[in-house]
């Protein structure tokens, strides 16, 4: 058996009864012996990076499970003709990424116990990225949506392939756009800071007004 992930994007207008019926139908397929569901994540409603079937938002649900390879075709057959599904994909889970995340947790625990981390122990060339981490992927994507080449990012060849695969998966499920980069919200200033700025600007305008009257 292999570990798989199936991501389904439902229409936001789909009723709870419809979503529940499709969920039971899918879980019946993926829990068929000897398979089992290890985890189910509900991301809720998200804004799509690009419209799918004229929809700008979708409800994301992710299933993590272990099953035989032949079941993937049955999953596709179960979801193919559902009108309330915008898109779905099934792919093999990245076991190397899961191991890396587990090792990171262990390193963080050691770091808190030791009180620091030496620079010699840091991995600067081998990169692990998750297709669900859009902000993490944005480090390796230009403003025009192109993947940063190795000569610029400085990562290893294996890491570059891993980044390319993660970006493609994120684009398939509309977490990333095909043509644009990732944009974050502009930082907001505190009211006190905005007030000080406004005071300075008013003072400058008043001073400029006095100068113009003199001349």
* pLDDT per position as a tens digit, 125-144: 577 888 888 888 888 888 88
Residue 19 has pLDDT above 90, yes or no: yes
Nearest to 67 by CA among 6, 9, 23: 6
Give the position of tokens 């947790």.
105
Decide: helix, strand or coil at residue 61.
Answer: strand
Residue 173 or residue 111, greater confidence: 173
Whether the predicted model's global pTM rises above the 0.75 cut? no
Pairing verdict, β 55-67 and 2-11: antiparallel
All structural domains of the chain, each given as residue ranges with its CATH number in brackets, are 2-93 (3.30.70.60), 125-185 (4.10.640.10)
pLDDT band at 1 (very low <50, low <70, confident <90, very high): confident
pLDDT of residue 103: 59
Nearest to 148 by CA among 158, 138, 134: 138
Question: What's the token pair of residue 15?
Answer: 């009723």
Q: What percent of the chain has pLDDT over 70?
A: 69
Cα 215 from Cα 202, distance rounded (Å): 20
pLDDT of residue 16: 94
Q: Tell me whether residue 94 is exposed, middle or buried, using C-beta atoms within 10 angstroms of its C-beta: 0 to 12, 13 to 18, 19 or more.
A: buried
pLDDT of residue 123: 42
pLDDT band at 12 (very low <50, low <70, confident <90, very high): very high
pLDDT of residue 209: 52
Question: What's the token pair of residue 149?
Answer: 């080449």
pLDDT of residue 99: 57
* pLDDT per position as a tens digit, 48-105: 999 999 999 999 999 999 999 999 999 999 999 999 999 999 998 876 555 555 555 5
pLDDT of residue 170: 93
Residue 127 or residue 26, greater confidence: 26
Contacts of 161 (CB under 8 A, 6+ apart): none
Cα 25 from Cα 23, distance rounded (Å): 5
* pLDDT per position as a tens digit, 133-173: 888 888 888 888 889 898 888 888 888 888 899 999 999 99
């Amino acid at each position: 058996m292999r570990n798989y992930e199936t991501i389904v994007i439902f229409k936001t207008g789909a009723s709870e009864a419809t979503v529940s019926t499709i969920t039971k139908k899918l879980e019946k397929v993926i829990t068929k012996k000897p398979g089992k569901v290890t985890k189910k994540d509900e991301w809720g409603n998200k804004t799509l990076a690009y419209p799918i079937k004229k929809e700008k938002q979708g409800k994301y649900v992710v299933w993590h499970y272990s099953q035989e390879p032949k079941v993937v075709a049955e999953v596709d057959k179960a979801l193919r003709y559902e009108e309330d599904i915008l898109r779905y994909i099934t792919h093999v889970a990245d076991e190397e990424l899961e191991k890396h995340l587990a090792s990171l947790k262990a390193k963080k625990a050691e770091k808190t116990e030791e009180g620091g981390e030496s620079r010699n122990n840091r991995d600067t060339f081998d990169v692990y990225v998750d297709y669900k981490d859009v902000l993490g992927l944005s480090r390796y994507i230009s403003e025009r949506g192109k993947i940063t080449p190795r000569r610029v990012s400085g990562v290893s060849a294996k890491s570059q392939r891993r980044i390319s695969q993660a970006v493609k998966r994120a684009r398939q499920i509309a977490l990333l756009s095909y043509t644009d980069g990732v944009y974050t919200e502009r930082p907001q200033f505190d009211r006190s800071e905005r007030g000080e700025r406004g005071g300075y600007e008013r003072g400058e305008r008043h001073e400029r007004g006095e100068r113009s009257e003199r001349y």
